[in-house]
Every structure is written in C-alpha cells, then in structure tokens.
Amino acid sequence: MPEEWLIIATSWVMWLIGFITAGNALIQTLLFYRVARRVGEKIKMKPEILKEGLRAALITSIGPCMGIFVGMVTLVIALGGAVAFIRESAGVGSIMFELISARIGAEAAGVKLTREDMTLLGLCLCLWTMAVGSVEWVIVGGVLTRWLPKLRDAMGGGDPKLIGLISVAMMLGAFGRMLVRDDVIPTILAMSIRPTLIAGIIGIIVTVIWIKFAEKLKKPWLKEYFMLLALLIGMIITQLLVNAGVVK
Amino acid sequence: MTEEEKYFGMSPLPLEEKKKVMDKEYYPKIHLYGMITSLIHALIIFLPVIYLAALGYFPPWDKAILAFINIASVVAPYWIIEPISYFGILGVTGTYIAFLAGNISNMRLPVSAVAQEVAGVREGSYEGEIVGGLAIIASQWMLTIISFLAAIIVTGVIALLPPAAVEAFDWLLPSIWGAIFAQFSLRNIKLAMIAFPLALVVVYLGVKAIIPAYLEIPIMVFGMAAIAIACYRKKILK
C-alpha cells in the first residue's frame, strides 16, 4: 500500500488541478491566437507567412520539449506524475527552478527529496514553496507587461531599424551569457575541455553552415530545421566523444 | 542579401497605418486577456496547497515562512529582472505566456527567434511581435502535450533507453546556446564580437561572486542594447 502522501499527490483531484492549470494557459494562448491571426491579416501580412512562422515554431519546439520530457523524470520520481504535470505544463519555473524549490520545501520539512523519504509535511512544503516562489513572476508579468512597450519605444525612439538592432543586441547579450556560463566557463575553470564546450561549438558550426546553405539555395523555409539539427548533432557527437573518453 | 530579400515577410502597409491597427485592435486586447488570465493563474498556482489544506494538512507557519525566505533568497531578484530584461525580445504576447508558463531561455526565446527568421520579419517590428507571439503560442501547445506525456510515461521511457542516450540530454541546452548565438551572430557579427567578450567578463565576475549573479542578465541585455544604440547613433552600425 503506497504511503498517504503519495496517494494524495497522485489522486484524481491533483490531476484535475493539473488540467485546470494547463487549461488556463491554453485558454490564454487561444485568446491570443485569435487576436494575432486576425490583426496579422488586417495589417496585410501574408497568411502563408503566419502559417510558416507557426510551423517553424512547432518544429523548433520539439528539441526543447524533448529536453523537458527527459528532465521531468526526477520530478515524476520524487513527487509523482500529477504534481510534475501541474508544475511543468504551466507552472512558470523551469525544471531547475522546480527541483530547487522542491528541495527547499523538503529541507524545511526535514526530509530528502526522494520517494522513500518523502512525508505528508514534506509534500505540503514542496507544493507551498513551488507556489510562493513562482507566483510573483505571474503577477509581475500580468501587471507590468502593459507598461513595458513604453520602455522599448523610449530606447528605440520609433526608428524600426534601431529597434530591430536593439532586439538583436539583446538576444546576443542574453545568449552570449548562456553560452559563456554553461559552455565556456566550465572549461576555463577546469582548465581542460569539457563536453559542454564541444556541444556549444557544434551548435555554432551546424547553425552557420545550415543557415548559409538555406540562404544560398534561397529557400528560407529550410531554416526551420536548423535548431533541431544543431541540438541533435550536438548531443550525439558530444556523447560519442564522452563515450570514447576524448572529453570528460 | 538585400534588406528586402531578408525581410520578405514584412507587410507592405506604411508604418503609421500598422501602428494604428496595432494600437487599436492588438495591444488593448492582448493586455486585457493577458492580465485577466495571469491574475487567475496566480490563484490557480495555489490550488495544490489549498487542496491539501482542505484535507487538513497545512505546514506550520514557521516552516512555511522559512521555506519562502529560502526560495526568495535564490530567485527574488529574477521576479522583476527577467520580465523587464526579456520583454524586448519576447514581445507583449510572448511576455504574458512566458511568465505564466515558464521555460523562457530554453524554449520561448529560441522558438520565437527561429520563427521570425523563417518568416522573414524584422525583430522588434509589429510583424515580429505577431510572428513571435504565434510561435510562443505554438510552443505552449507543444509543451502541454509533452508535459502530460512525460507525467504518465517518462519513467517507463527512461528505463528503456540506454544510459548513454539519457546522458546525451545533458548536452541539449549547451547545443541550443551555441545555435542561437550563432543565428544572431549571422545577423550582426560586429555586435556578436562585442557580446562574447563582454559575457566572458560579466559571467566570470558573477561566478567569482564579485558581482551578484542576478545582475548578469540585466548587464548583458541592457548593456548590449546601450552599445547598439551608441554604435547606431555614431553610424558604426546600420
């Protein structure tokens, strides 16, 4: 007979809460979708451009979703499928945030974040910490977003070229940081080549070759596969090198 | 490649006319729907806690407060920093979804960037807002299906996979970081050559705790924006 906390954590009510959580996010996206499609056509964007954007997004999201799928295993094992579904379908945090907050909750209850060690108090505190640690993002996003376009307009001064340039610069800033933090710094600190550096370099090479190739052929739709290719090739080659003992 | 070839997805309407439609029919509706669904979500997030409390289980307040302080000490600065820093890239629609359903750098930003590239629209434009928004909407549909599947079958699937295949997922995000950085380097190689060394310095200072780690994002994002503006005004970039 499973323990009481596990019976509650995997009960039909918890699954229902999962569907309510995911459902609210779906309602939001459906409302947004209607507006975006209608206004997109009204400002005379070609329907096939909108369709192409959607297609590219679906194909590109396969890779990150595979990562989320595999990453969820720890959460499912620790707290059961229903809680993992509530938190990952639309719970703001990334897997990393969920694991950190679950661990903090478990620690406050004096237990470890494992199925054997978990208790009812531990479950209460895990769920509590996940909620109080992430609700602020939803409130800040929900309330603050309406004021943010003013900030961007102030920076770009209404010049579309400059606003485009600023967006590119911001993206390079955000992802330059990710690239350095996860891929480059571990190698610098360890003074030996780490697998993450290899993966990052492969990601760069595959992307440059593929995008240049698509542009040369004048087939922009080919670009929609670059991210999927980059991460698959990056994962496979890096893992082969790790297995062969070339990098550790 | 000419500007026209690169941005083939832009609408032929004059900017003023697009602005009129967006200001009247797009932003007000998105803000209204976004705010209502977000505030409802702020309540929904507590449903698991409320359910347990209804069964008679609520943690003692001292432990609950301790847990809150501990999680806040890790993430509190990001509650404000992330929405403000990422807005310029996510757009209005993308920001509402991203801060309701998460997974920003690993999914929302890449998906929006690729969709805009494929659709041939300029980042930060009205067309970019719409295509980026649709992309992030689509990524949420995908996430709903995948997270549901994972909740039911992931433990079984992982058991079937060889350990090396599972380990390979450790290299998924590092590959994505390289891919997206490369995509935008192709957009503007000069800015990329500034962003990379700047990131090296900023992250190094963060890792060595010389600056708080939560300052890395705003320094990088707004620092790069300021550099782009300065270079554009001085006609170093166009």
Cα–Cα distance measured from residue A48 to residue B6, given in angstroms and rounded to the nearest whole number? 16
Please indicate whether, in this complex, the C-beta atoms of B188 and A165 are within 8 angstroms of each other: yes
The mean pLDDT value for A169-174 works out to 91
Q: Verify whether the Cβ–Cβ distance B64 to A211 is below 8 Å.
A: no
Q: What is residue B135's predicted lDDT score, i.e. its pLDDT?
A: 95
Q: What are phi and psi of A116, to 5 degrees?
A: -70, -35
pLDDT confidence of residue B1: 67
Mean pLDDT, residues A114-129 taken together = 91
pLDDT of residue A224: 85
Closest residue to A90, CB basis, from B100, B123, B169? B100
Do residues A226 and A210 lie in contact, with contact meaning Cβ atoms separated by under 8 Å?
A: yes
Alpha-carbon gap: B106 to the closest alpha carbon of chain A (Å): 6
Domain boundaries of chain B, sorted by first residue: 3-172, 188-238
Q: What does the alpha-carbon distance between residue B136 and residue B92 come to, in Å, rounded to a whole number?
A: 11
| Region A88-97 average pLDDT | 79
Q: CA-CA distance, B116 to B123, in Å (whole number)?
A: 7
Give the C-alpha separation, A175 to B173, whole Å: 11
- Give residue A245's identity as a one-letter amino acid code: G
Is the pLDDT at A1 greater than 70? The verdict is: no
Predicted confidence (pLDDT) at residue A10 exceeds the cutoff of 80: yes
Of the pLDDT bands very low, low, confident and very high (cuts 50, 70, 90), residue A246 is confident
What is the pLDDT averaged over residues A26-49? 94
% of chain A at pLDDT higher than 90: 61
Of A14, A120, A199, the CB nearest to B174: A199
d(CA A204, CA B196): 13
Residues of A in Cβ contact (< 8 Å) with B8: 220
Interface predicted TM-score of the whole assembly (ipTM), two decimals? 0.89
Kindly report the average pLDDT of chain B as a whole number: 91
Q: Decide: helix, strand or coil at residue A9.
A: helix
pLDDT at residue number B57: 92
- pLDDT at residue B62, as a whole number: 93
**How far is Cα A146 from Cα A218, in angstroms, rounded to an integer?**
38
From A191's Cα to the closest Cα of chain B, the distance in A is: 14
Residues from chain B contacting residue A92 (CB–CB below 8 Å): 45, 99-102
Looking at residue A212, what is its pLDDT? 92
What average pLDDT does range A27-32 have in this prediction? 97
Report, as an integer, the average pLDDT of B177-184: 92
- Residue B25 is classified by DSSP as I
> What backbone phi and psi angles, to 5 degrees, belong to A192?
-150, 155
Q: At what angle do helices A81-90 and A120-144 cross, to 10 degrees?
A: 10
Model confidence over B140-163: pLDDT tens digits? 999 999 999 999 998 888 888 888
pLDDT grade, residue A98 (50/70/90)? confident
Q: Do residues A227 and B114 touch, judged by C-beta distance below 8 A?
A: yes
- CB-nearest partner of B181 from A26, A199, A204: A204
How high is the pLDDT of residue B237? Answer: 77
Q: What angle do CA B45, B50, B55 make, to 5 degrees?
A: 150
What pLDDT, on the 0 to 100 scale, is given for residue B181? 95
**For the CA atoms of chain B, what is the radius of gyration?**
21
**The model's pTM:** 0.89
CB neighbourhood size of B229 (10 A): 18
Compute the Cα dihedral for A118, B62, B71, A187 and give only its sign: negative
Band (A124; pLDDT cuts 50, 70, 90): very high
| Angstrom distance (rounded) from CA A226 to CA A223 | 5
Residues contacting residue B53 through CB under 8 Å, at least 6 positions apart: none
Q: State the nearest Cα–Cα gap between A1 and chain B, in angstroms.
A: 20
Total residue length of chain A = 248
Per-residue pLDDT, B88: 83
Q: Which residues contact A80 (CB under 8 A, 6 or more apart)?
A: A6, A9, A10, A14
Per-residue pLDDT at B220: 93
- What distance in Å separates residue A10's CA from the closest CA in chain B? 11
| Distance of alpha carbon A87 from alpha carbon B148, whole angstroms | 11
What residues contact residue A76 under an 8 Å CB cut-off, 6+ apart? A84, B150, B151, B154, B155
Q: pLDDT digit string (tens) for B105-136? A: 889 999 999 999 899 998 888 999 999 999 99
Do A56 and A223 contact (CB within 8 A), yes or no?
yes
Count of beta carbons in the 10 Å neighbourhood of residue B36 = 14
Higher-confidence residue of B89 and B193: namely B193
Closest CA to A130 of A94, A82, A156, A159: A94
Mutation target vs A (from B153, B171, B190; most A CBs, 10 A cutoff) = B171
For chain A, the distance separating the N- and C-terminal CA atoms, rounded to the nearest angstrom, is: 43
Please write the tens of the pLDDT for every residue from B15-39. 889 999 999 999 999 999 999 999 9
pLDDT in tens, A193-237: 999 999 999 999 999 999 999 888 888 788 888 888 999 999 999
Per-residue pLDDT, A240:
95
Asked whether A100 and B74 are in contact (CB, 8 A), the reply is yes
- Write down the domain spans for chain A: 4-146, 157-243
User: What is the structure's pLDDT at A71?
Assistant: 84
Mean pLDDT of all residues belonging to chain A:
90
SS3 for B112? helix
pLDDT of residue B235: 83
Cα–Cα distance for residue pair B34/A146, rounded to 1 Å: 9
pLDDT digit string (tens) for B208-232? 999 988 889 889 999 999 999 999 9
Query: In this model, does residue A64 exceed pLDDT 80?
Result: yes
